[in-house]
Amino acid sequence: MPEIKGKDNIISFFKTFFGRNEEAKHLWTTVISEDKLKQVNWGVVCKRKNGELFTLTGTDYFKIKNNKIVYLEVVSNKK
């Protein structure tokens, strides 16, 4: 997955992702840690508008400051 930086680019990525998919179901587990970097392990199954199904799994790493995400790294397990 290419690196996406900046608020506008992140918004564009998610608009494109959800715009081309008719339906998406997510499951996740949040890993609670005492350090500043948080972790969420996730899986998603999607149905594209053309009827194709696909799945992805991965891990998100993030930091929150003043109730805002200040760092987000999405690591897909797709090879």
Distance of alpha carbon 66 from alpha carbon 64, whole angstroms: 7
Global pTM reads 0.74
* The predicted structure's pLDDT at residue 26: 96
* The predicted structure's pLDDT at residue 10: 83
List, for residues 15-72, the tens digit of each pLDDT value: 998 899 999 999 999 987 777 788 999 999 999 999 999 999 999 998 888 988 888 8
The domain containing residue 34 runs over which residues? Answer: 7-77
Would you state the structure tokens that stand for residue 13, as one six-digit string? 């990525």
Q: How many domains does the chain have?
A: 1
Task: Give one DSSP letter per residue of 16-50, joined into a string.
Answer: HHHHSEEEEEEEEEEEP-SSS-EEEEEEEEEEETT
Residue 23 lies in a domain: yes
Residue 2 lies in a domain: no
